[in-house]
Chain A
């Protein structure tokens, strides 16, 4: 069969238009006119021109607005404004405002403030490295003393790796937000100290406080969460859960029940973060903290996901550290804000902490 000659485009288009029913053409013409009208009509913002303020009205509002003072007027008689000046070393006896007093107010648990060996090491370090580290850890601010201190801490505590921070406050306040994000859940003790509270606030996770040292309340909260997870398994698969406690509570002075916490951790599959600010150096036979203090056969430091400690209390230096498995700690080298975006600790402080740590390891239980 001979194929038909292809229709010219002219025939195809005009032919369909002329053959279409009239109502179809009428509707299409109306639509085209409507579109052209919308394209060419003027557009107004949603808050229409009638509601916008004139320039004079704006200037008047700006003139009339009176801000509060930056801070409320201070009370000149407030106790907090009266500082007690210490001259000399704040050791067991301190000279406060000119008077020699017995010092029961500092966290000098091991008596290392004013220790000659530590001071000599710090002095030698100034003569070798200068005072400041002049750089963040990522860009040539890492000294060999920092690496030595980190490996010493890891070896002393029996963990795989440790990470060093320049300030104890920012240690836990940076560690928690590095792991716990907005959609995660944290079960924290009611009596945790201020730095942990700031870390929890900065992480923007959902925080559920349980009554201080009350393991039954914690268990009931965990059970409730587990029941909710069963109802919503997809969400539960991406929601991390953490327990944040302290080893020795700064605000209360009592010790957390470590074996029971680890038991709950494995039962409910949550991660355990222990903050050993004041327990590092003073709890446990060798000062290794709450995990050594309980001397449990089943559970030890290896069952804690993250242990954060301070070098400003028992160790009499400045700084903080976190330790745990390499898998956990290495993450903070990129995500810990207080580690990445801050200068490295001065080498003299790291060296002083190193010497103090050696003394703790070699002469446990002895007075300095």
Chain B
């Protein structure tokens, strides 16, 4: 076979074109990560050499950090890094635990220039990244004033709505002129604007659910509203890799928490059966209700929830589903209505569907 007849799947093995592996349909093998039928995802397992060297380097960093802390303590090396003011060193308990400060000072500081890079233009297809230099090994940064025009592959601009002209930007300008920038009030007082009611009706129609509510920030939506849905006496079964906002909301609610392996429907079924049959592990009381917290598309993994199996489980075990479609709303499915559209599931099967306007819609909330 000629080299053009082969395609490289995982960078190592070449398979003939037209084979099922080349199309992206994963065969069920040891590393398949429980993909459901019809899924077009494939995962590459980390090579052993890579993981070993990563762990070794990480361990080396930590050892060097502790050695340098020791050297500073015995006075061999001067402490050039930020310390708390004099008045706090006597009698006050140090604000940060020792590992936290060692990690930030010696490990994170080395690679700090990769994060928090400021940009000076719209986060569209191309943007201007501002140049920064550091004289003191990434402790502080100075902007040089120059910008680098770069292709943007990192913003959550999935549908390209981050633009300065066009109907969306014009609508935003008109809204500012009509309603002002902020209402200085909460929704219950003088904060419910007519345009917000319009948005809520539109969102409900878009997603295919009876009603919708909008909030000012996606993180706050999860962390403040989950305590209203679950409380003490309920059970929350959440995916192990859920977002920090979901975890914070679930912790604040006071419900009992059980986690299942990422996207593993068999593990979820096992945990559901155990919960219903045995109740709370210590008191043995039956749970008042069981809510399953999952995401449509996981932001760190890029994996998609096998929604058909999940809905089948929910119907069999009478649980409720809270689906966080922060990333998938607007960009998954033929009509862009999210993972329900992608899998062909009726959205009214989901009890609570959460989404954000920050990603596909280019706004915030």
* Cα of A206 to Cα of B130 in the assembled complex, Å: 44
Given A135-B155, A170-B217, A342-B245, A68 and B289 contact (CB-CB distance below 8 Å): yes
Check if B169 sits within 8 Å of A105, measured CB to CB: no
* Cα of A90 to Cα of B152 in the assembled complex, Å: 38
Check if B217 sits within 8 Å of A132, measured CB to CB: no
Bitwise, B338-365 to A at CB < 8 A (1) or not (0) is 0000000000000110001111011110
| Interface footprint category on A | 35 or more
Check if B358 sits within 8 Å of A134, measured CB to CB: yes
Check if B181 sits within 8 Å of A134, measured CB to CB: no
Check if B104 sits within 8 Å of A334, measured CB to CB: yes
Given A86-B192, A318-B182, A133 and B123 contact (CB-CB distance below 8 Å): yes
A119 CB–B CB distance under 8 Å: yes
Check if B119 sits within 8 Å of A142, measured CB to CB: yes
Check if A90 sits within 8 Å of B185, measured CB to CB: yes
A212 CB to nearest B CB, Å: 22
Check if A131 sits within 8 Å of B172, measured CB to CB: yes
Check if B177 sits within 8 Å of A343, measured CB to CB: no
* Cα of A70 to Cα of B363 in the assembled complex, Å: 30
B121, B218, B290, B362: the one within 8 Å of A131 (CB): B362
B243 CB–A CB distance under 8 Å: yes
Check if B181 sits within 8 Å of A346, measured CB to CB: no
B328 CB–A CB distance under 8 Å: no
Given A131-B362, A142-B119, A167 and B190 contact (CB-CB distance below 8 Å): no
Which segment of A25-33, A233-241, A252-260 sits at the interface? A233-241
Query: Interface size (B, Cβ < 8 Å)?
Result: 98
Which residue on A lies nearest to B317, using beta carbons? A62
A188 CB–B CB distance under 8 Å: no
Check if A198 sits within 8 Å of B182, measured CB to CB: no
A80, A126, A349: the one within 8 Å of B173 (CB): A126
Check if A58 sits within 8 Å of B193, measured CB to CB: no
A169 CB–B CB distance under 8 Å: yes
**Which residues of A lie under 8 Å from residue B115 when comparing CB positions?**
138-139
A144, A167, A198, A271: the one within 8 Å of B219 (CB): A167
Which segment of B39-47, B61-69, B71-79, B89-97 sits at the interface? B89-97
B83, B184, B252, B273: the one within 8 Å of A201 (CB): B252
Which residue on B lies nearest to A201, using beta carbons? B252
Report 11 cross-chain contacts, Cβ distance below 8 Å, ordered by A residue. A61-B276, A106-B184, A106-B185, A115-B180, A134-B157, A202-B251, A313-B184, A327-B82, A331-B100, A340-B244, A343-B156
Closest CB pairs A-B (n = 6): A106-B185, A342-B219, A167-B217, A134-B155, A130-B122, A67-B289
Which residue on A lies nearest to B245, using beta carbons? A341
- Does more than half of chain B's interface fall in helix, strand or loop, or is it mixed? loop
**Which residues of A lie under 8 Å from residue B84 when comparing CB positions?**
325, 327
**Which residues of B lie under 8 Å from residue A66 when comparing CB positions?**
318
Check if B363 sits within 8 Å of A132, measured CB to CB: yes
**Which residues of A lie under 8 Å from residue B117 when comparing CB positions?**
140, 142
Check if B364 sits within 8 Å of A85, measured CB to CB: no
Which residue on A lies nearest to B158, using beta carbons? A134
B93, B154, B165: the one within 8 Å of A140 (CB): B154
Check if A128 sits within 8 Å of B164, measured CB to CB: yes
B82, B180, B197, B286: the one within 8 Å of A119 (CB): B180
Within 8 A of B (CB), among A34-90: 53, 58, 61-62, 65-71, 80, 83-90
**Which residues of B lie under 8 Å from residue A317 when comparing CB positions?**
181-182
A143 CB–B CB distance under 8 Å: yes
Given A85-B192, A90-B193, A316-B180, A130 and B116 contact (CB-CB distance below 8 Å): no
**Which residues of A lie under 8 Å from residue B181 when comparing CB positions?**
113, 118-119, 122, 316-318, 348-349, 352
B22 CB to nearest A CB, Å: 32
Given A61-B276, A137-B116, A89 and B194 contact (CB-CB distance below 8 Å): no
* Cα of A61 to Cα of B94 in the assembled complex, Å: 53
Given A123-B173, A327-B83, A58 and B273 contact (CB-CB distance below 8 Å): yes
A67, A71, A166, A328: the one within 8 Å of B318 (CB): A67
**Which residues of B lie under 8 Å from residue A143 when comparing CB positions?**
118-120
Check if B168 sits within 8 Å of A131, measured CB to CB: yes
A361 CB–B CB distance under 8 Å: no
* Cα of A122 to Cα of B181 in the assembled complex, Å: 8
Check if A170 sits within 8 Å of B185, measured CB to CB: no
Check if A142 sits within 8 Å of B116, measured CB to CB: yes
Which residue on B lies nearest to A349, using beta carbons? B181
A107, A139, A146: the one within 8 Å of B184 (CB): A107
